[in-house]
Structure 1
Amino acid sequence: MSSAPTLLLSPLEIRVLGVLSEKQRTVPDSYPLTLNSLLSGCNQKTSRHPVMEVSEAQAQLTLESLKRYSLITESSGGRAYRYGHNIDGVLRVPSQSVALLTALMLRGPQTAGELRIACDRMHNFADISSVEAFLDELAERPAGALVVKLARLPGAREQRWAHLLGGPPPQDALPAAGDMPAAAPRSFEPGLDEVATLKSRVARLEEDLAATREALQRVCDELGMSKALWP
Structure 2
Amino acid sequence: MNLTQNEIRVLGTLCEKQRTVPDTYPLSLNALLAGCNQKTSRQPVLELTESDVAAALDRLKELRLVNEVSGSRVARYAHQFEKTVAVSGPAAALLTVLMLRGPQTAGELRLNCERLYSFADISSVEAFLEELTAREPALVRELPRAPGARENRWGQLLGGDDFSDFSSSTVKNSTEAGELATLQARVAALEQEVGELRSALQELLAAR
TM-score above 0.5, yes or no? yes
| Richer in helix (by share) | 2
> Over residues 133-172 of structure 1, what are the superposed CA-to-partner deviations in whole Å (9 max), with x where a residue is unaligned?
000000011x310000000111211100000000013356
Which residue of 129, 133, 150 corresponds with 1:135?
Answer: 129
Which residue of 148, 151, 165 corresponds with 2:144?
Answer: 151
2:70 alignment partner, SS class: strand
CA contact (8 A) 2:43 2:100 kept: yes
Moved over 6 A (4+): none
Q: Supply the distance in 2 between the matched residues of 1:47 and 1:159 (Cα, whole angstroms).
A: 20
Matching residue of 2:117: 123
2:92 alignment partner, SS class: helix
Aligned length: 174
2:75 alignment partner, SS class: strand
Aligned-pair CA distance for 1:17: 0.1
Q: Which amino acid aligns with 2:68?
A: E
- Matches for 1:180-199 after TM superposition, within 5 Å: none
Matching residue of 2:157: 164
Matching residue of 1:178: 174
CA 1:162–1:58: 2 relative to 1, 3 Å: same
Aligned-pair CA distance for 1:40: 0.4
1:49 paired to 2:4: no
Matching residue of 2:95: 101
Q: Where does structure 2 lack aligned partners over 5 or more consecutive residues?
A: 178-208
> Over residues 86-122 of structure 1, what are the superposed CA-to-partner deviations in whole Å (9 max), with x where a residue is unaligned?
1111111101000000000000000000000110000
Matching residue of 1:70: 64
CA 1:156–1:16: 2 relative to 1, 3 Å: same
Q: Which amino acid aligns with 1:158?
A: E
CA contact (8 A) 2:102 2:166 kept: no
> Over residues 172-228 of structure 1, what are the superposed CA-to-partner deviations in whole Å (9 max), with x where a residue is unaligned?
6442463699xxxxxxxxxxxxxxxxxxxxxxxxxxxxxxxxxxxxxxxxxxxxxxx
Q: Which amino acid aligns with 1:109?
A: P
Q: What's the RMSD between the two structures over aligned residues?
A: 1.7
Q: Supply the distance in 2 between the matched residues of 1:79 and 1:54 (Cα, whole angstroms).
A: 24
Q: Supply the distance in 1 between the matched residues of 2:15 and 2:152 (Cα, whole angstroms).
A: 25
TM-score by length of 2: 0.80
Q: Where does structure 1 lack aligned partners over 5 or more consecutive residues?
A: 1-6, 182-231
TM-score by length of 1: 0.72
1:53 alignment partner, SS class: coil
Q: Which amino acid aligns with 1:12?
A: N
Aligned-pair CA distance for 1:61: 1.1
Q: Which amino acid aligns with 1:163?
A: Q
